[in-house]
Amino acid sequence: MRTEVLPADAAAIRRGSEMLATGEVVAFPTDTVYGVGAAALDVAAVGKLFATKVRPLGKPIALLIAPEQDLDIVAREVPPMARALAARFWPGGLTIIVWRSLVIPAIVAGDGPTIGLRVPDHPVALALIRALGQPVAATSANLFGQASPLAAEDVCCQLAGRIGLILDGGRCPGGVESTVIDLTTPEPLIRRLGAVSQEAIEEALDARVRLPA
């Protein structure tokens, strides 16, 4: 497969969304590292994403959504806490785990009942999601177990010939991963501390949250 690398302008983003809509896998910049994604509602495309990364099946993949996309479409029994956190920290470095809607293929969630959701704080990623019109199942644009890429050329080194398009939006900042909070447990549970602090979450919720034991 020939891998195109295009500057992430409006035309290239439109091309990327068209490729995603036809089941292809596309790499793009985010507010942390370069991601590689597939249309989340397309089972075959998500399977191709796993194969592209040589990622073991059964490992959940987060969904990137746009701020205006309805949580009740991708999740069920959305708790008020999820809406409060989304209003406070999205777009940004918080991944919220909620109960998965049945419209989301089980392969995305590793056959589990929950799903992680995030709104990326990056104009290219958001434009791509909006152009596609559905969530993107996305993970870092590297072969499984390898270093996460910060630039388009880093993606090329690992995924050239395995994907059709890389949207080059310049160098990503890298740095801290998103904080992951699980709202499917009896009490809110921070599964990974990252860009958003425990104190900021507790302030937004006016409630205590737990860390893993």
How confident is the model over 15-40, as pLDDT tens digits?
999 999 999 999 999 999 999 999 99
Q: Is 88 left (phi over 0), alpha (psi -120 to 50) or beta?
A: alpha
Q: What confidence tens digit (pLDDT) does each residue in 52-108 have?
A: 999 999 999 999 999 988 899 999 999 999 999 999 999 999 999 999 999 999 999
Q: Which of 168, 117, 119 is nearest to 141 (CA)?
A: 168
Q: Is 54 left (phi over 0), alpha (psi -120 to 50) or beta?
A: left
Longest pairwise C-alpha distance within the chain: 51
Angle between helices 10-21 and 123-132 (to 10 degrees): 50
Mean pLDDT, rounded, for 183-196: 94
How far, CA to CA in Å, does 183 sit from each of 20, 78, 93?
30, 9, 16
Topology adopted by domain 4-205: DHBP synthase (3.90.870)
How far, CA to CA in Å, does 140 sit from each of 3, 27, 31, 92, 204?
17, 9, 12, 16, 28
pTM above 0.85, yes or no: yes
Beta strands in 65-188 (DSSP E): 75-76, 94-100, 114-118, 136-140, 165-168, 179-182
Q: Is residue 136 predicted with pLDDT exceeding 80?
A: yes
